[in-house]
Structure 1
Amino acid sequence: MKSKRVRLNAAQVIAATAKQKQKFLEWGRGSGKTTYLGYDSLQLVKQMPRGSFAMVGSTYSQILSRFMPAIKEGLELFGIYEGIDYVVGSMAGKKMGFQMPFQSPEAFNNIWHWSNGAIFQFVSLDHKDSGRGLNSYAIRGDEAALFDDEKLAINVTNTNRAKKAQFKNSPLLHSEVYTSSTPLTKKGKWFTDMEEEARKDPSGILFLKATAKVNMANIRSDYFEHMRKSYRDDIIYNAEMLNIRPKEITDGFYPQLTEDNYYTNFDNGYLEGIPITDLNGNSLNCRQDLDVKKNEPLIISVDWGANINSMTVSQLQDDTYRVLKEFYVKSPKMLDHLFLEEFLPYYLPHPTKEVYFYYDRTGNNRMANSKMTMADQAKEILTKSGWTVYKMTTGANPSYTEKFRLINVALREDGRRRGLPKIRINKANCPSLIVSMENAEVYDRGKGLEKDKRSERRKGIDQEHATHLSDTFDYPFYSMFEGKLDASRAGTEDLPLTTF
């Protein structure tokens, strides 16, 4: 390993030198997280050669597609390069003369192997046995706001127990570092709650917040102004750049939506079988999803718009309605791109080429200078690609009040004995849908309850986080189960009808 001098900013220095064994770093974009992750990983490897560490992600897909590219960039700042100082996902290091760890795994497909024998094992929290059997000397986790804290404790934290006499004076022995930008959904509450835990136990826990203001020596002077123009969404800009946490919508359009309605279900065997050097968009298709019934049609739902066209893909599986995947394209891309560049490539391997097609009723209106409707146009694209399409939308849109009652009874799971299914949303594949639903508000203009659609017209809102995607959830679910509404109405008296 070659040495290279890099100047750390104040937040990086505090994080690197703090003596607390648990560190939670809520750092905004531009604050120097990539550099810190590179520095921190390098210190672990130097302090504990041949040691084993856990590198945690919410999913294996997240580790491969987001964490590893960032960490490689951070390490290059210190003169550390893949293929020379470390290898990822293979036994190539052994052939290159790398030392082996004290406890060598049987397979190296999920191992980050360093030349001095230190290894990081990738642990995905969507795999219940991913961290089992591991004896680690330290734990690291990025995008920690996406973690399930119970799974983290059960599968990972209790593995941080390995001991070696030569490491007893290592400052980083049994340390834990979790980094994240400010959470956008309820899922990340466990992470921000650690700020209060750090106040209760300041000697054991460090919670450190930082924005790019701490890193101005390394970034352009007009960085905040430049980035403000890059964000169309005030909520996302405030969270990712300024560490301002979004307000919690407790009386929104989906008040019964909770973490219990979310899940992940990746085929980690498939993902681990892809050489990391070959990982690309073509590899990350529906073959990575274990929640898709291959011999069943897909339910697709589209919301049309001038600035964004969005889609969700679902299946009714026995007593569970599963939202499997979201897609969207923004202007200048159009409806064609949504299908040709997003849906069709992703579901190319799906063997049952049938879709039940739901959409806003305006999709049945003829487009200007054309005999076709938007629904006809979408159907033609799918048909030419070998799919059989059943258009399901007719008539007028239902009232918001009726949709509110039906969906929230199903979310609360009070209506199952009346024929309503459980609702489950793939949180890894539908992150913007979850933001859209958790932030959808209600208001009453004297005509009854309505979903607040003003986010679709606000310039400060990224449209994938406005209510478009939430509408794509509503269209098929209400249409498929509206006949159960009267039977379910008895369980809705205590559901809020207005904001307070």
Structure 2
Amino acid sequence: MIKNIELTIPQLTFELAKQPKKYLEGGRGAGKTTILGKRLRDIAANLPRSSNALVGCTYSQMLSRTLPSAIEGLEMYNLYQDVDYVVGKCGKKNGFEMPFQPPTGPSGWNNIIHFSNGTIYQLVSLDNPNSGRGLNSSSITGDEAALLDPEKLYVNVKATNRVAKKAVYGNNPYVGSEAYYSSTPITKKGKWYVEMEKKALEDPTTYFFLKCSALSNPYLRAGWFKEMREEATSELIYNAEILNIRPKEITDGFYANINPDKHYYTDYNNSYLETIGVVAKKEHFNCHQDNDIQRHEPLILSLDWGVFNCAVVMQKHENELRILKSFFVKSPKLLDDLFIEQFLPYYQPHQEKIIYLYGGHDGHNRSANSNRTLFQQVEDILQKHGWKVYVMSKASAASHFDKYLLINAMLKGYSGLPTIRINEHNNADLIISLERAEAREGLTEAVEKWKGSERNKSILQQHATHLSDAFDIPIVTMYNDIFKGKKSFAGEFKIKTT
């Protein structure tokens, strides 16, 4: 079957660029899947029997997002799974050629895409330093690249891209090439990716950097932009995800000392993820995939409620307070839906079904049309599903200034208090909420968290301050008295006000 595929101007420009290291920053709808599929096909066609790396930040991401995008992209070019290539197994029994350097060991083929001409792609996840071990790659392709850790990318992947040009390939430009695809980063962690644009200006012979928005794609269906704008309900997200406009950095943040390199971490249970393999379904992605959880210890659960309901899950671990995961539901869904649809299925395998429950002090009040308080309603749901619940929140809220001083002291590394560590892939929206929370001079306090984002209809509410409020409550309840009993370091935190 002959298929005619027309590339957009940015897609064609990216494809024709001769530099060996190429970076695309494109809005959703700009056609990244199309050129990802083309690159995978072209490398397979031009470098038969070669070994190549397809890179993602985590194995969970590779299974849930990168692999489906790769399969979709290849199908655009008439390459079909289980016909032209197989995933997670060797295709020798299908009559496939073997690569020059085939994987070894009984599980060596688990993370491999094997094409009929012997070309292979190894799925390399940066959260597993062993996933690229032993690979001598001829090329590197990175998906959702702004999420990649640049140091791990260098050590675990770039160092493997060392195969010398084989005579059979001649001077084929795909040998040793690298290509990365991503939308614009929204958090501080992705700053390295946009800085590659400067690298391309400094060394245009080696590096190529291209920015484009979904507006560059004339093949999108009529009305798509209008739908995306109406459904986004967030100008920041619409601008970033669709129009590829980089968000402005918050300089006067309420969480001034938050540092991605120090406070964010990745810790998936890849042994479990490898057992579910490439046929993973949504229900497989439960707390079994989390390697940072203590399975026989209670969970700390904190809620922020209202029209927008959200939850943050934590656990104490030696000298760390680990932020394990966060959830939210939007109206018309209710607090019950957050538990029935999300929290309970995700933590069903957890062994110690005890929860220390925190939330806004208004949770002690009876809700409308009920003689039960919000805390009691949550207790009822959890107890019905086998959880024992202890309500820990106080009847009054701590001041914004107390939160500001305490949490920034902990982020800085205050002696006698635990280090805050956040599982970045389980808390993507919480991280945006924290990084974009602004500090302002208050009428009654030296510093307040600006709450205008909660009233701004142009801001996606999971990126407003709701999740950050749920994050604050257990921390200030558990540690503020300890902090106040020690010498105050209020003078260490310089506050800019407008």
State if a TM-score over 0.5 links the two structures: yes
In structure 2, what is the equivalent of residue 53 of structure 1?
Answer: 52
CA contact (8 A) 2:295 2:352 kept: yes
In structure 2, what is the equivalent of residue 67 of structure 1?
Answer: 66
In structure 2, what is the equivalent of residue 457 of structure 1?
Answer: 455
* Structure 2 CA distance for aligned equivalents of residues 420 and 172 of structure 1: 52
Deviation at 1:100, TM superposition (A): 1.3
In structure 1, what is the equivalent of residue 419 of structure 2?
Answer: 422
Deviation at 1:487, TM superposition (A): 4.3
Q: State the AA in 2 paired with 1:442.
A: A
Given the superposition, is the C-alpha separation of residues 489 and 58 from structure 1 closer, same or farther in structure 2, using an over 3 Å criterion? farther
Counterpart check, 1:473 vs 2:468: no
Deviation at 1:3, TM superposition (A): 5.3
Q: Helix, strand or coil: the match of 1:389?
A: strand
Of 443-452 and 294-303, the range deviating more from structure 2: 443-452
Deviations 1:367-414 (A, max 9, x none): 12211011111110000100000000122100000000000000010x
In structure 1, what is the equivalent of residue 263 of structure 2?
Answer: 261
CA contact (8 A) 1:3 1:78 kept: no
* Structure 2 CA distance for aligned equivalents of residues 390 and 482 of structure 1: 20
Counterpart check, 1:497 vs 2:495: yes
CA contact (8 A) 2:88 2:113 kept: yes
Deviations 1:240-280 (A, max 9, x none): 11111111112210010001100010011110111312x11
* Structure 2 CA distance for aligned equivalents of residues 491 and 113 of structure 1: 58
Counterpart check, 1:435 vs 2:437: no
Deviations 1:213-232 (A, max 9, x none): 2211x112433223211211
* Structure 2 CA distance for aligned equivalents of residues 176 and 17 of structure 1: 14
* Structure 2 CA distance for aligned equivalents of residues 71 and 261 of structure 1: 32
Q: How does 1:312-327 map to 2 (within 5 A)?
A: 312-327=312-327
Deviation at 1:350, TM superposition (A): 0.5
CA contact (8 A) 2:302 2:470 kept: yes
Q: State the AA in 1 paired with 2:143.
A: D
Deviations 1:441-489 (A, max 9, x none): 0112422211111111111111111111111110101111011222455
* Structure 1 CA distance for aligned equivalents of residues 405 and 66 of structure 2: 40
In structure 1, what is the equivalent of residue 14 of structure 2?
Answer: 15
CA contact (8 A) 1:301 1:357 kept: yes
Q: Helix, strand or coil: the match of 1:301?
A: strand
Q: Helix, strand or coil: the match of 2:301?
A: strand
Deviation at 1:77, TM superposition (A): 1.5
Q: How does 1:225-244 map to 2 (within 5 A)?
A: 225-244=226-245
Q: Helix, strand or coil: the match of 1:396?
A: coil
Q: How does 1:355-394 map to 2 (within 5 A)?
A: 355-394=355-394
CA contact (8 A) 1:405 1:489 kept: no
Q: State the AA in 1 paired with 2:48.
A: P
Unaligned regions of 5+ residues in structure 2, if any? none
Q: Helix, strand or coil: the match of 2:332?
A: coil
Deviation at 1:330, TM superposition (A): 1.1
* Structure 2 CA distance for aligned equivalents of residues 117 and 487 of structure 1: 67
Q: How does 1:333-348 map to 2 (within 5 A)?
A: 333-348=333-348
Q: Helix, strand or coil: the match of 1:24?
A: strand
* Structure 2 CA distance for aligned equivalents of residues 183 and 10 of structure 1: 23
Q: Helix, strand or coil: the match of 2:249?
A: coil
In structure 2, what is the equivalent of residue 183 of structure 1?
Answer: 185
Deviation at 1:120, TM superposition (A): 0.7
Deviation at 1:127, TM superposition (A): 1.3
* Structure 2 CA distance for aligned equivalents of residues 488 and 255 of structure 1: 21
Deviation at 1:45, TM superposition (A): 0.4
* Structure 2 CA distance for aligned equivalents of residues 134 and 490 of structure 1: 52
In structure 2, what is the equivalent of residue 271 of structure 1?
Answer: 273
Unaligned regions of 5+ residues in structure 1, if any? none
In structure 2, what is the equivalent of residue 97 of structure 1?
Answer: 95
Q: Helix, strand or coil: the match of 2:86?
A: strand
In structure 1, what is the equivalent of residue 207 of structure 2?
Answer: 205
Q: Helix, strand or coil: the match of 1:171?
A: coil
Q: State the AA in 2 paired with 1:499.
A: T
In structure 1, what is the equivalent of residue 82 of structure 2?
Answer: 83
Runs of 4+ residues over 6 Å off in structure 1: none
In structure 1, what is the equivalent of residue 128 of structure 2?
Answer: 127
CA contact (8 A) 2:215 2:243 kept: no
Given the superposition, is the C-alpha separation of residues 39 and 402 from structure 1 closer, same or farther in structure 2, using an over 3 Å criterion? same
Deviation at 1:41, TM superposition (A): 0.7
Q: Helix, strand or coil: the match of 2:478?
A: helix
Q: How does 1:277-296 map to 2 (within 5 A)?
A: 277=279, 279-296=280-297
Deviations 1:116-163 (A, max 9, x none): 111111111111222222100000101111111011111111110112
* Structure 2 CA distance for aligned equivalents of residues 492 and 198 of structure 1: 43
Q: State the AA in 1 paired with 2:403.
A: K
Q: Helix, strand or coil: the match of 1:242?
A: coil
CA contact (8 A) 2:319 2:418 kept: yes
In structure 1, what is the equivalent of residue 443 of structure 2?
Answer: 446
Q: State the AA in 1 paired with 2:275.
A: G
Could you tell me the TM-score, scaled by structure 2's length? 0.97
Q: Helix, strand or coil: the match of 1:464?
A: helix
CA contact (8 A) 2:360 2:397 kept: yes
Given the superposition, is the C-alpha separation of residues 281 and 221 from structure 1 closer, same or farther in structure 2, using an over 3 Å criterion? closer
Q: State the AA in 2 paired with 1:177.
A: A
CA contact (8 A) 2:364 2:395 kept: no
Deviations 1:181-221 (A, max 9, x none): 010000000000000010001111000001122211x1124
In structure 1, what is the equivalent of residue 147 of structure 2?
Answer: 146
CA contact (8 A) 1:365 1:374 kept: yes
CA contact (8 A) 1:5 1:78 kept: no
Q: State the AA in 1 paired with 2:292.
A: D
* Structure 2 CA distance for aligned equivalents of residues 229 and 123 of structure 1: 37
Deviation at 1:176, TM superposition (A): 0.5
Q: State the AA in 1 paired with 2:194.
A: T
Of 160-169 and 104-113, the range deviating more from structure 2: 160-169
Q: Helix, strand or coil: the match of 1:424?
A: strand
* Structure 2 CA distance for aligned equivalents of residues 305 and 144 of structure 1: 35
* Structure 2 CA distance for aligned equivalents of residues 421 and 68 of structure 1: 38
* Structure 1 CA distance for aligned equivalents of residues 175 and 251 of structure 2: 41
Q: State the AA in 2 paired with 1:222.
A: G
Q: State the AA in 1 paired with 2:409.
A: V
In structure 2, what is the equivalent of residue 25 of structure 1?
Answer: 24
Considering only aligned residues, what root-mean-square deviation do their CA atoms show, in Å? 1.2
Could you tell me the TM-score, scaled by structure 1's length? 0.96
CA contact (8 A) 2:27 2:213 kept: yes
Q: Helix, strand or coil: the match of 1:351?
A: coil
